[in-house]
Structure 1
Amino acid sequence: MLEIREITAQDNAKIAAIITQVGKEFGAIGEGFGPSDDEVSMMSEHYKFAEKARYWVAVLNGEIVGGAGIAQFNDHGVCELRKLFLLADARGRGIGNELVTQCLAFAKEVGYKSCYLDTLANMTSAIALYEKMDFNHLDEPYAETIHGGCDIWMLKDLTNN
């Protein structure tokens, strides 16, 4: 049974471990990669106090198996899909799709005009999901990104679908 719910303080250690583990699996280690962001150790607090931001965890059969969030990216109506990480056993079950759908619905609800993301070329399943959900590839990252280690950048228009 799958449940998608907002993160709580009790989830912080588990989601931080998942983000770190999956980051290592794909070589996203050190500065310039999401798993090294300060927010990772205190995800619930970071998203609780950030305006127009939320983070959800995916709970499969009572166990947290991943998560994803939305937060403001810049002052031009752009949000960022953040920290979509799933344990290997949870992939291929539609959980990523459920998380992204939840994130994008929230982003539209609070008035964002577009959604940016950055990722790694070796995260091929995630990229296929983003493409399926109408994210378009960009030639370069947005200037405001802090993830200089990423090599894939995408954007989705939230105003017309």
Structure 2
Amino acid sequence: MNIRPIEKKDNQPLKAIIQAAISEYGNNVPGSPYYDTVLDHLAEHYAHQDRAKYWVAEVDGELVGGAGLGPFTYPETAEFQKLYLSPAARGHHIGHQLEIMAEKAARKYGYKKFYIETFQNYKAARGLYQHVGFKQLDKPLGHEPSHAACNAWYLKNLKRDI
């Protein structure tokens, strides 16, 4: 497995992985990441944001998914964003590796908290979040959730290096 920063050539294959995964769980509804306009240009989107980054994972040279982080509207908080993997890549700790990279970058960028908006029916992803120390919230953090359709929210305090 190889994890590297996203490049422009990854935009369309990654968009296909993200939208397929969202559809697979029936979450391709208005207000979900399925309709994010940045999916067509993720590499450029992350390259032009301060304190943001996105990585892709490859297995045998094939793109299998990715994840990133970006600033959130709540003070000193980064949002863990768009962790999606192809079905064949799931269950091989790739998501865990991507979360570790994103969390380290969040600390490096000076964020104090790490936030996630997701869906209840993403059972494996929610298990990962809980395993690495995220705590489930009763409601979205702040006033403006990134994705109004999401129905599960998690927060982690970034106190020490991992």
Same fold (TM over 0.5): yes
> SS of the counterpart of 1:131?
helix
Shift of 1:75: 5.2
The residue number in structure 1 matching 2:57 is 58
Partner of 2:96: 97
* Whole-angstrom CA distance in 1 between matches of 2:69 and 2:3: 14
Amino acid in structure 1 at the alignment position of 2:144 = E
DSSP-derived class of the 2:159 partner: coil
1:146 counterpart = 2:146:
yes
Aligned residue number for residue 78 of structure 1: 77
Contact 1:68–1:83 (CA<8 Å) still a contact in 2? yes
Match of 1:17 in 2: 16
1:122/1:75 Cα in 2 relative to 1: closer, same or farther (>3 Å)?
closer
Alpha-carbon separation, structure 1, partners of 2:92 and 2:104: 20
In 1, Cα distance between the equivalents of 2:25 and 2:55?
22
Partner of 2:84, secondary structure, is strand
Query: 2:122 maps to what in 1?
Result: 123
Which structure 2 residues correspond to residues 104-119 of structure 1 after superposition, within 5 A?
Answer: 104-119=103-118
- Residue 26 of structure 1 deviates from its aligned partner by 1.3
Instruction: State the Cα distance separating 1:144 from its structure 2 match.
Output: 2.1
Return 27-36 or 69-78, whichever deviates more.
Answer: 27-36
Change (3 A) 1:75 1:152: closer
Instruction: Let me know the Cα RMSD of the aligned residues.
Output: 1.0
**TM superposition shift of 1:146:** 2.6
CA distance in 2, matches of 1:145, 1:41: 21
Task: Specify the alignment match of 2:155 in structure 1.
Answer: 155
How big is the shift at 1:159? 2.1
Residues 1:133 and 2:132 are matched in the alignment: yes
Q: What is the rounded CA distance, in whole Å, between the counterparts of 1:82 and 1:47 in structure 2?
A: 11
SS of 1:39's partner is helix
Tell me how far apart the structure 2 counterparts of residues 120 and 75 of structure 1 sit (CA, whole Å).
20
Cα distance between partner residues in 2 of 1:64 and 1:58: 6
Looking at structure 1, the residues matched to 93 and 152 of structure 2 have their Cα atoms a distance apart, in angstroms, of 22
* Unaligned runs of at least 5 residues, structure 2: none
Aligned mates of 1:160, 1:109 — CA distance in 2: 11
Q: Which runs of 5+ in 1 are unaligned?
A: none
Q: TM-score, normalised by structure 1?
A: 0.96
Q: Distance in 2 between matches of 1:47 and 1:158?
A: 22
